[in-house]
Amino acid sequence: MTGTVAVTGVTGELGSRIAARLAEADVPQLLVGRDPGRIPLLPGAEARGPAAYDERDAMRAALEGASTLVLVSGRPLGRRLEEHATAVEAGIEAGVRRVLYVSLLGASVTATYRNARDHWLTELFLADRGIRYTVFRPAFYAPTPAALADDRLRVRGPGGTGRTAFVAHDDIADVIAAVAAADADTRHDGAVLDVTGPESLTLEEAVSQIAAATGRPYGYEPETLEEAFARRLRDGVRGVQIESWLSWYQAIARGDLDTVTDVVPRITGKPATPVRDIGWWPEPNVAR
Ligand SMILES: NC(=O)c1ccc[n+]([C@@H]2O[C@H](COP(=O)([O-])OP(=O)(O)OC[C@H]3O[C@@H](n4cnc5c(N)ncnc54)[C@H](OP(=O)(O)O)[C@@H]3O)[C@@H](O)[C@H]2O)c1
């Protein structure tokens, strides 16, 4: 029998998809959010919260009764370790025995991408807690280039001609839900699973797939680091936000994330989704 799975981030793109799959599989769930009014209504699922990752008491109460915690990472730069550590500790106090953490491909102390360093710190913290855990490291999300486009549908940045295997939220959710539902299966305990799309693409190739899929004239224009920095500064972006944005492109340019794995087909039994088949595209300027 599958124990109760608590899922966080259910008001977001990834967590909502994981919760929907677990509901389809009749897995009992606790859906944890900061705003209970926005938590999806699903069969077999109980809404819990309000609880933010850094609110230890609220998280402990929200996670009471769960044996597995699917921790969808939050977004605050430089505070992920602190927030995620509090959520994990609260879960352990509430009786959670297994944590599935959504990290990022290439997570490392020396990662080019600023956010990947944050995720690596959480991974280290998790590995030392004495509980069962699995780390999922998704590649960059396939819809992100569309969200980075400007009003004229140009994606500009220092991504050069490096490659990465952009991945669909649906594929990541399929993988995580499959592992979450198989409580008794210990094969993925302690594992780090790199979850990628089916092919490694340059930004130009990814953007042209988005243009073909949407029928809209998206295009990629490479910038130097200096040009990109100056433009972002003019746009009013500051400090660590500029570093995060520049380093996203630079991680691609340097080939840090040029990896294609078999995790999606191996765990879900289906091929990973190519960028052109993602099926949903954010509006331009959403991630700028
Ligand atoms: N692989 C990639 O390319 C990539 C790209 C972007 C982000 N990410 C990471 O992947 C995560 C999930 O992606 P997504 O597309 O699902 O993001 P999303 O749509 O922004 O959803 C994030 C979810 O996390 C919740 N959350 C954020 N901070 C929280 C906190 N401190 N306490 C409790 N809940 C919190 C949000 O709740 P609210 O609705 O209350 O805000 C939301 O439900 C992101 O948060 C980020 O860490 C990865």
Task: Answer whether residue 263 is part of any domain.
Answer: yes
**Residue 77 has what pLDDT?**
78
**Residue 76 has what pLDDT?**
80
Task: Answer whether residue 233 is part of any domain.
Answer: no
Atom of ligand 1 nearest to the CA of 76: 28
Task: Answer whether residue 156 is part of any domain.
Answer: no
Distance 103 CA to ligand 1 centre (A): 11
Q: Among 32, 70, 72, name the best residue to mutate to test ligand 1's pocket (greatest count of ligand atoms within 8 A of Cβ).
A: 72
Task: Answer whether residue 144 is part of any domain.
Answer: no
Task: Answer whether residue 187 is part of any domain.
Answer: yes
Burial of 69 (0-12, 13-18, 19+ CB in 10 A): buried
Which residue's CA is the closest to the ligand 1 atom numbered 22? 12
The CA radius of gyration of the chain, in Å to the nearest whole number, is: 19
Nearest to 116 by CA among 250, 12, 274, 265: 250
Residues of the chain with pLDDT under 50: none
Q: Is the separation of the CB atoms in 141 and 275 below 8 Å? A: no
Atom of ligand 1 nearest to the CA of 104: 1
Task: Answer whether residue 43 is part of any domain.
Answer: yes
Residue 78 belongs to what domain range?
5-138+169-195+259-272
**Residue 1 has what pLDDT?**
64
Does ligand 1 come within 6 angstroms of the Cβ of 74? yes
Atom of ligand 1 nearest to the CA of 14: 16
Which residue's CA is the closest to the ligand 1 atom numbered 32? 52
**Residue 2 has what pLDDT?**
76
Does ligand 1 come within 6 angstroms of the Cβ of 138? yes
Which residue's CA is the closest to the ligand 1 atom numbered 6? 141
Does ligand 1 come within 6 angstroms of the Cβ of 82? no
Assign residue 89 the CATH number of its domain: 3.40.50.720
**Residue 75 has what pLDDT?**
83
Which residue's CA is the closest to the ligand 1 atom numbered 18? 12
Q: How many domains does the chain have?
A: 1
Task: Answer whether residue 14 is part of any domain.
Answer: yes
**Residue 78 has what pLDDT?**
80
pLDDT digits (tens, 9 = 90+) for 241-281: 999 999 999 999 999 999 999 999 999 999 999 999 999 99
**Residue 238 has what pLDDT?**
87
Task: Answer whether residue 114 is part of any domain.
Answer: yes
